[in-house]
């Protein structure tokens, strides 16, 4: 086979050029994400029925829905939570269930239950969860006029924040969700308005108007008369009559009649729009804010999504100067770190290969050939990624990084073996054929042994097994491609590089050999490796019992180290962020919780670059964090150095112990995507 390839070098090079071009095209179309697209068997149903109490919603909506959804196949758990105006039903399925089929079946059950639901209610929304439902980042919206939360109790501040909530829901959220790379925008921190009527009892008594008359006037003016069809010859007109109360002015202008006189509601009562009672809120850098968790489509490229949303945020800043937009808790840093780690490994490995080959093989061309083969191997591996429907993510990149070392080893072994045959006065063609043919079988066995180490990872169960599938496949692809490149492409480019040796090259070779001889003699005077190795070997054979005893002593030391070594779920790295969980351990409301959090954040101002405060119960639809009560809070603090994080932790402990000794405080690094996914209670096999 090698002889056939050597005889047609141009054809082989053209084939590999075509493969590299296809690999580049595949790279540009490969999805780039934090994690592989792993369907988590969870489906969420969101039912919204405005102006209904939690008890009414539970009996009229959730109960019939739950009765239908309990008939869905492979359902392992169902949990519902009902609030005023909204209910969320979470359905968990056995792992391995086809989530697409479960999603379809859940929609069918909801369609069947629609006849028993209120007529004026919108169809419940069904959301399919996956690993990529972990937010890529959070987008925070704050009003520029609002300089601190201390002002948010004023009527003007309340009105502005209610308008911001409506604007975020109806405009910003929908515009972001229109991007093809975005699957869902989950929102929290919004405020819903409520209309309050405070009657003036003295005026009502003087005008002889009772509360029942007031209620009757509200009821009579809040009716929908329906549609009326009017025909005029060949034309038909649809006319809709409505007197539904829609805003503050509609209610204020309601007419009442008493003692032969007509009054308006605003004459006898104060009509105001106020925020509804809140059990939770969100604050960004000490200001009342709305946060949006941006969730990526499974098949979207992360870089494209960041560019699109970055451009959209810039446009928002121009279009809406009264609103400040800020991104926080960016999970893409993990992917950026992995990609930079891969590039660093490639560059460092290539540099070391060039130095080693240049020093030991005394040749300038070989390092360039090995670097070229490494680049070709990586690009062709990406082509197979596309064929195997893999994405570029942290797991697959980790597998590719593991395979990079073997890629360089294969090329070095082939070129070194060919060079040895050339030193025996073989021609270039003969050396390429003999040198490559000699290592085909050993390298094949080495590749299969390495693949056999990683391939069993695909048999791991649960979500962890699904994640490790990408690593096992990417390592196998990298090893197999590097082997094929080493025995096909490497000898061909070696033959093309060394097929002609001119006199000038011979003179250059003579100069190089003299230079390396001088360097080698100098190195030998300082480090005589042969002498050191011979002395060490003689000592080993002279003291066999001592050496055997030393090696046997290593075994119990290694076993003891296995039990003593520190164990953790994920490797530790330098943190400039911290999550602080606070439970005040008192029966307080969200308002009091907010005041305490503001007081705490003020003491941390000098060490804080960015802060997010999740106070009380949040409104996220896909909230994977532990549910919080109104007396609990979760703070995200970002600093500019790890040392300041230690200062922040000590300040928080001191603040709570002095001012609120009953409070319970916990510190942890921001939960990464790994920690959220590697929490399976299933057995590893």
Q: What are 78-127's pLDDT values in tens digits? A: 988 887 778 888 888 887 788 888 889 999 999 998 888 888 788 898 88
Question: Where is pLDDT greater, at 105 or 503?
Answer: 105
Minimum mean pLDDT among 225-234, 383-392, 408-417, 560-569: which range? 225-234
Q: Indicate left, alpha or beta for 259 from its phi (over 0: left) and psi (-120 to 50: alpha).
A: left
CA gap 331, 135 in Å, rounded = 8
pLDDT in tens, 219-239: 777 655 555 666 766 676 666
| pLDDT-above-70 percentage for the chain | 82
Burial of 554 (0-12, 13-18, 19+ CB in 10 A): exposed
Residue 222 sits at φ, ψ, to 5 deg, of -115, 55
Q: Using an 8 Å Cβ cutoff, are 255 and 270 in contact?
A: no
Instruction: Name the token pair of 488.
Output: 């096909």
Q: What is the pLDDT of residue 502?
A: 39
3-state DSSP call for residue 623? Answer: coil
Q: What is the pLDDT of residue 211?
A: 80
Q: What is the pLDDT of residue 580?
A: 92
Q: What is the pLDDT of residue 244?
A: 58
Q: What is the pLDDT of residue 648?
A: 92
Minimum mean pLDDT among 195-204, 218-227, 511-520, 532-541: which range? 511-520
Is 487's pLDDT higher than 60? yes
Minimum mean pLDDT among 148-157, 436-445, 645-654: which range? 148-157
Question: Where is pLDDT greater, at 516 or 575?
Answer: 575
Q: Which of 638, 641, 655, 642 is nearest to 598 (CA)?
A: 655
Maximum mean pLDDT: which of 131-140, 254-263, 284-293: 284-293
| pLDDT-above-90 percentage for the chain | 12
Q: What is the pLDDT of residue 597?
A: 93
**Angle at which helices 365-387 and 394-423 pack, to 10 degrees?**
140
Instruction: Name the token pair of 130.
Output: 């996956």
Long-range contacts of 255-258 (CB under 8 A, 24+ apart): 255/217, 256/209, 256/213, 256/214, 256/217, 258/207, 258/208, 258/209, 258/213
């Amino acid at each position: 086979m090698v002889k056939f390839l050597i005889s047609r070098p141009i054809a082989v090079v053209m084939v590999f050029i075509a493969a590299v071009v296809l690999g580049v095209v595949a790279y540009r179309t490969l999805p780039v994400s934090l994690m592989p697209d792993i369907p988590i068997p969870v489906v969420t149903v969101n039912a919204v029925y405005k102006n209904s109490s939690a008890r009414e919603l539970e009996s009229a909506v959730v109960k019939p829905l739950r009765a239908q959804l309990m008939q869905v196949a492979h359902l392992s758990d169902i949990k519902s939570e009902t609030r005023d105006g909204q209910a969320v039903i979470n359905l968990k399925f056995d792992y391995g269930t086809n989530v697409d089929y479960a999603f379809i079946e859940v929609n069918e059950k909801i369609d069947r239950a629609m006849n028993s639901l209120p007529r004026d209610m919108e169809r419940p929304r069904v959301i399919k969860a996956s690993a990529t439902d972990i937010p890529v980042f959070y987008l925070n919206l704050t009003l520029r006029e609002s300089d601190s939360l201390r002002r948010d109790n004023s009527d003007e501040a309340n009105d502005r924040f209610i308008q911001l909530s409506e604007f975020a829901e109806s405009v910003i959220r929908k515009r972001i969700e229109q991007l093809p790379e975005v699957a869902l925008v989950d929102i929290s921190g919004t405020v819903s308005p409520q209309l309050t009527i405070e009657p003036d009892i003295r005026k009502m008594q003087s005008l002889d108007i009772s509360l029942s008359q007031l209620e009757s006037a509200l009821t009579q003016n809040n009716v929908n008369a329906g549609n009326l069809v009017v025909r005029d010859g060949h034309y038909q007109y649809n006319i809709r009559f409505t007197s539904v109360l829609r805003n503050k002015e509609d209610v204020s202008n309601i007419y009442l009649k008493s003692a032969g006189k007509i009054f308006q509601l605003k004459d006898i009562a104060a009509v105001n729009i106020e925020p509804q009672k809140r059990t939770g809120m969100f604050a960004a850098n000490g200001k009342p804010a709305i946060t949006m968790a941006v969730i990526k489509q499974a098949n979207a490229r992360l870089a494209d999504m960041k560019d699109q949303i970055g451009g959209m945020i810039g446009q928002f800043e121009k279009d809406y100067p009264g609103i400040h937009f800020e991104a926080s808790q960016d999970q893409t840093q993990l992917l950026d770190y992995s990609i930079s780690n891969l590039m660093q490994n490639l560059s460092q490995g290539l540099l070391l290969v060039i130095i080693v080959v240049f020093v030991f093989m005394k040749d300038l061309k070989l390092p360039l050939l090995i670097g070229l083969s490494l680049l070709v191997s990586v690009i062709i591996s990406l082509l197979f990624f596309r064929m195997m429907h893999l994405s570029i993510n942290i797991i697959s990149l980790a597998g590719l990084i593991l395979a990079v070392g073997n890629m360089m080893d294969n090329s070095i072994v082939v070129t070194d073996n060919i060079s040895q045959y050339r030193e025996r006065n073989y021609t270039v063609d003969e050396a390429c054929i003999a040198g490559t043919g000699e290592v085909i079988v050993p390298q094949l066995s080495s590749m299969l042994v390495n693949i056999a180490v990683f391939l069993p990872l695909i048999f791991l169960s649960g979500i962890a097994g699904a994640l490790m599938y990408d690593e096992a496949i990417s390592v196998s692809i990298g090893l197999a491609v590097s082997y094929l490149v080493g025995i096909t492409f490497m000898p061909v480019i070696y033959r093309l590089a060394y097929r002609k040796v001119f006199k000038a090259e011979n003179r250059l070779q003579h100069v190089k050999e003299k230079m390396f001889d001088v360097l080698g003699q100098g190195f030998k005077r300082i480090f005589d490796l042969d002498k050191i190795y011979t002395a060490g070997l003689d000592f080993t054979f002279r003291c066999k019992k001592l050496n055997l005893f030393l090696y046997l002593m290593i075994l119990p030391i290694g076993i003891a180290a296995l039990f003593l070594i520190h164990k953790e779920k994920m490797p530790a790295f330098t943190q400039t962020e911290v999550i602080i969980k606070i439970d005040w351990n008192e029966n307080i409301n969200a308002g009091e919780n907010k005041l305490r959090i503001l007081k705490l954040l003020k003491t941390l101002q000098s060490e804080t670059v960015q802060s997010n405060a999740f106070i009380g119960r949040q409104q996220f639809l896909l909230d994977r964090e532990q549910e919080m009560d109104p007396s609990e809070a979760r703070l995200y603090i970002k600093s500019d150095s790890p040392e300041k994080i230690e200062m922040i932790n000590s300040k928080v402990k001191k603040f709570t112990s002095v001012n609120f000794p009953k409070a319970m405080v916990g510190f942890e690094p921001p939960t990464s995507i790994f920690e959220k996914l590697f929490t399976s209670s299933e057995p590893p096999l």
